[in-house]
Each structure stands twice: as C-alpha cells, then as structure tokens.
Homo-oligomer: A and B are copies of this chain.
Amino acid sequence: MKLLEQKIINDGIALEGNILKVDSFLNHQIDVLFMDKLGKEFSRLFSGLSATKILTVEASGIALSCALAKYLKLPVLFAKKGNRANIGADVYFAASYSYTHKSEYIMTVSRKYLSSCDKIIIIDDFLAKGNALSGLISISQQAGCEILGIGIAIEKAFEGGGDALRQEGFNLCSLAIVESMDNGDIVFRQ
C-alpha cells in the first residue's frame, strides 16, 4: 500500500538495531483518519470471507482492528497481556516473547468470546519474527476457530516471520513490507 509506505518514509524513524519507530501515527500517537484508510484497505483485502470476528492483542493492534471492524461490521476481541485479575479463569492462553520489551509474557482470551463457530481475521500493527502472531494463532487453535486471514500494517520481512507464515499456508496480507533498512535506508518489497 503506497500510502502507508509513503507515511513510513515521511514520518517513520529508522533507529539502530533495525528498529522502525512509527509512534507518531501508529502505536503511541494514533492518526485515526489514517487508520481508517488502513482499515478500508484491509476490508478490501478480506472482503467476502464471511468472518465472524477480528482478533488482536493489546495495545497497538486495537486501533487498527477497530478501523477494519467498522467496515466489516464485526466485533473486535483483543488478547490481554499478563496476569489479569479481571478476565476470569476460563481462558485460552499462550506464552509469547516480546523483542521490543525483551521479556516473556502471557496473552489470554476469555473462552466466552472465541469458539469453533468463529471464523476470524487476525490483525496486528507489526510483524517481525512473528512471536505475537504465534500466540494469537495458538489461542485460535485452542478455540478451534478458523483463521481466514492475517492482516499486518508493517512487516519487517528481513526478520523472517512473515514468509514463514506464508509457507505454512496462512493468508497473510501486510500493507507495507520492509525488505531491508540497513543504515536507515528503508527498502520496501515490490
């Protein structure tokens, strides 16, 4: 999606260690009207799939999921991180590792809201090695629901997670795929 690539070039900051900061519009400050455009593009990519629900993980996936949900008229379900006193005991859970925060965490989803009747689209802001997605996929498999598609705003292809998921057969759509960002020079996959 050229619009997102241009926004990354204009507003993103490439830092040492292949860190791409897009916190001016995506995952700290949120440009809601821009999110709407990403949501519309996801709705085009995932139209006609008869999904019942959108699954994401807090926090940065929520705004993007809501933008898509508005177009598809679906509920959003977000996995909670950590031990949460308010989610109850009847949960699916998965362990994940965050390279951003350099720590392991547990994500949980109440069994009440995900079942084998569901056909879901998984949404997240970033895909690098795929750790967060692995957690969401594990939870979906525990629930026995069908994963119709996975939508990502920014995929760092050089981390390998995205292509591994494609090889596993997942219908993965990333709106911007960063092939490399050596020396701060961001190159997108064509």
Contact = CB atoms under 8 A, between A and B. Distances in A.
Main secondary structure of the interface of A (DSSP, over half): mixed
Contacts of A69: 30, 32
Contacts of A35: 66
A30 B101 contact: no
Interface hub of A32, A67, A85, A113 (most chain B Cβ within 10 A): A32
Q: Which of under 10, 10 to 19, 20 to 34, or 35 or more describes the interface residues of A?
A: 35 or more
A15 B63 CA distance: 29
B58 A84 contact: no
Interface stretch (A43-51, A74-82, A162-170, A171-179): A74-82
Given A110-B28, A113-B29, A78 B59 contact: yes
Interface of A: 19, 21, 23-25, 28-33, 35-36, 58-59, 62-63, 65-67, 69-70, 73-78, 80, 82-87, 100-102, 109-110, 112-113
